[in-house]
A = this chain, B = another copy of it.
């Protein structure tokens, strides 16, 4: 159960500001499927629009990072933040973008290792080496 109502297609179609975003999601992804996140976010059409436009700009299309790499970074952040839904949706997205079994296994290994050393560093309060400073 969610704290907001998840809009059905009929309900979304009845609100022009929501319909416009849903239409763009479908056109951009070339798929009829609009996942629950957007159906919940439609609760606040301005927030829905801002969030979708940001996601489209950051995650869709060409860039300096391969789209699959961006999805794997997304999985990493979502895991550390403990967001179940986000882990599921972005793991599915990464697979749809071609993540291989071997790549996923390595991704899991890096996420687990990073968490371990993050906690060790914090527990020991290791000071930053001056060598890591950015030369401006």
Mask: chain A, 68-102; 1 = CB below 8 Å from B; 0 = not: 01101111111111111111111110000000111
Q: Is the interface of A mostly helix, strand, loop or mixed?
A: helix
Which of B101, B103, B117, B129 is within 8 Å of A112, CB to CB?
B117
CA A34 to CA B106, docked complex, whole Å: 23
User: Is A41 interfacial (CB-CB < 8 Å)?
Assistant: yes
CB within 8 Å of B: which of A3-42?
A: 3-6, 33, 35-37, 40-41
Residues A3 and B134 in contact, CB atoms below 8 Å apart: yes
Closest-CB distance, A84 to chain B (whole angstroms): 6
Contacts of A128 in B (CB 8 A): 1, 36, 84-85, 88-89
Instruction: Contacts A58-B109, A118-B115 given; indicate if A40 touches B76 (C-beta within 8 A).
Output: no
- In the complex, are the beta carbons of A124 and B3 less than 8 A apart? yes
Query: Shortest distance in angstroms between A16's beta carbon and chain B's nearest beta carbon?
Result: 17
Please tell me if the beta carbons of B110 and A58 are within 8 angstroms of each other in the complex.
yes
Given contacts A106-B64, A106-B65, contact A74 B114 (CB under 8 A): yes
